[in-house]
Amino acid sequence: MMTTSMQDVAKRTLGLIDLTNLNDDCTPADIETLVSRSQNEHGHVAAICIYSRFIKQAAELLKDSPVRIATVVNFPGGGEDTAPVLEETRQAVADGADEIDLVMPYRAFAEGRHDVAAEQIRAVRAAIPAPAQLKVILETGELKDARLIHLASEIAIAEGADFIKTSTGKVAENATLKSAEIMLNVLRETAKENHRQIGFKPAGGIRTVEDAREYLALADELMGQNWVSAATFRFGASGLLDAVLAGIEGRTEESKETY
């Protein structure tokens, strides 16, 4: 049995999950399953995160639901050619996406060509009409250097990101508490000058309620006890929901991260 405090963490986590299926072999049947799992007797996740080819299907299935639809663009490679990314973004929004998770050109950024990343983020931001939101994926495990992660966070925010996100979940190192601390500190440092609410999304490798507890504790410490909500904090995960439901119900279960 999990302790009451861990049950509380599980309850808190449920509504912060972007329930994800970015498997290469994802099918329409898998999307039906994902949507069916997005709401349960304990509540609902914040969003589902899926490939753009499934947006219309998901939008139909979720038309009476509070669950939002997120999709990924320039994924997972973070290429430098912005034109197809803009086309993909506009189509995704037209099809019903509420949130666009953009992989910034992180290789170019790591090479020192920061303008390439800034210009792409700015262009994609301009292609997303309100109230749709932009999350910018920094791919922190590939940037590696704390100074680069800090600067990438600042640039993403300056160019219009609604969320800054750690990872695609497709590289060797994804979300870490170290990268989370850097990114949250940037949010804290820039809060007064932003004049708008900007969120944080750790993604990839977050599998257990204990994992979630550590990230939530960090956010509470750096941003304040009342900062975390679905509007400011998301977990990008495919298998965390299993562990969260087990935690709420007082069961012990390992989740399976599949992307």
Give the active site residues: 101, 165, 201
8 Å CB contact between 160 and 154: no
How far from 225 is each of 194, 216, 222, CA to CA, in Å?
A: 20, 9, 9
Tokens 């939008």 label which residue? 59
Provide the Cα torsion 202, 164, 227, 34; round to 10°.
-50
Q: How far apart are CA 203 and CA 174, in angstroms?
A: 7
Print burial letters for 130-140: b (CB count within 10 Å at least 16), e (below 16): eebbbbbbbbb
Please, what sign has the CA dihedral across residues 81, 83, 85, 88? negative
Q: How far apart are CA 97 and CA 243, in angstroms?
A: 27
8 Å CB contact between 219 and 233: yes
